[in-house]
Structure 1
Amino acid sequence: MDTIHLYRRRYMPDETVELKDDLILYRDDNILVTKWNILKPRKDIDHGISVYYMKEGFKISKVFDSADRLVYWYCDIIETEYRPNENTYIFHDLLIDVLIYPDKHVEVVDLDEFADFTENLTLPAPLLAKALRQTNNLLRFIYEGHLDELTEPITSRE
């Protein structure tokens, strides 16, 4: 099988980065599981494992510090673009993020960035609406107690 290429497309800052060092642990038509180290050194986080739910439109990452302690679960709202001829995935970060701390405290972040993009019409309106729906679906899963089901592709591969 050809090499799989992974890219993260961010709008703030405007950049596309190849995730060339990410190790793919599993892939099927709906999910992709990767293990990674952070791209830029930080004191608070060091590495993690992520599951991309490509149809649902979110990525859930279990993020660790350098002592291998859980810092938080970090959930990105994403749009997945797959280019089969290139065997390439581009994960577009749709700005809204949800953090779940070890004590189960949930925090929704970066809504201010999302509001800026909404005001400036930087992203098409249907994509903005889709991001809100995907956030709502993710929060519903979390609030209804289904986080363990969403994180199982990670925890079963640790």
Structure 2
Amino acid sequence: MKELQLYRRRFIPDELIHLKKDIILVQEEDLIITKWNKLHPREDISRGYSAFYLDQGFKISKIYDNDNKLVYWYCDIIQYKKEMDTNSLIIEDLLIDVLVYEDGTVRILDLDELADAMDLHLITEKESKNALRTLDTLLKIIYQGRFGILQEPVNNAELMDYSSNI
């Protein structure tokens, strides 16, 4: 079988990027974990690990800076489309993001982008409602102190990746 090809689809800005340099560390039916380096030059981040919880609609990323220090956990609200003939998975970013810092601080980002995408008919009403419901689920997990459940597979994959490079 052909290796899984990952793509990231964004609505604002409109782009489809083949994540060809991402390395898949774990591939299960509803969970994919990758390691990656930044796509575009940035001062604040360098690399990270991401878990795509396909059945839950989250992408949970552990983000590091250029000094290999944890910056934050970055959570995207997503949906996906699988293309069987090319063994491709298109991860669509539904615009809403949540940052979780080590001290427990939580920031919700880009709700305005969701509203803009709705105004511009870039996403459907159904997708918008799904994004908001998924955000609610994610925030409940975080506020109930259960975010570690989503972090654990990322941390385990990172440890396995690190130990395989020693």
Give the TM-score category using the shorter length: over 0.9
**1:102 alignment partner in structure 2:** 102
Amino acid at match of 1:60: I
2:140 aligned with 1:146: no
Is this contact kept in 1: 2:79–2:94, CA < 8 A? yes
1:50-61 map, 5 Å = 50-61=50-61
1:1-158 map, 5 Å = 1-158=1-158
Deviation digits for residues 120-151 of structure 1, max 9, x if unmatched?
33211111110111111111111111111111
Is this contact kept in 1: 2:57–2:78, CA < 8 A? yes
Between the aligned partners of 1:104 and 1:18, the Cα distance in structure 2 is: 33
User: TM (normalized to structure 1)?
Assistant: 0.97
Amino acid at match of 1:92: E
TM-superposed CA distance for 1:119, in Å, is 2.7
User: Tell me, which stretches of 5 or more residues in structure 1 are unaligned?
Assistant: none
Deviation digits for residues 54-112 of structure 1, max 9, x if unmatched?
01111000000011100000000001111122110000000000000111100000011
Is this contact kept in 1: 2:22–2:34, CA < 8 A? yes
Amino acid at match of 2:77: I
Between the aligned partners of 2:59 and 2:33, the Cα distance in structure 1 is: 9
User: TM (normalized to structure 2)?
Assistant: 0.92
Between the aligned partners of 2:35 and 2:106, the Cα distance in structure 1 is: 23
Between the aligned partners of 2:57 and 2:104, the Cα distance in structure 1 is: 22
TM-superposed CA distance for 1:118, in Å, is 2.2
Amino acid at match of 1:111: L
TM-superposed CA distance for 1:34, in Å, is 0.2
Between the aligned partners of 1:29 and 1:21, the Cα distance in structure 2 is: 21
Question: Which portions of structure 1, spanning 4 or more consecutive aligned residues, are displaced by more than 3 angstroms?
Answer: none
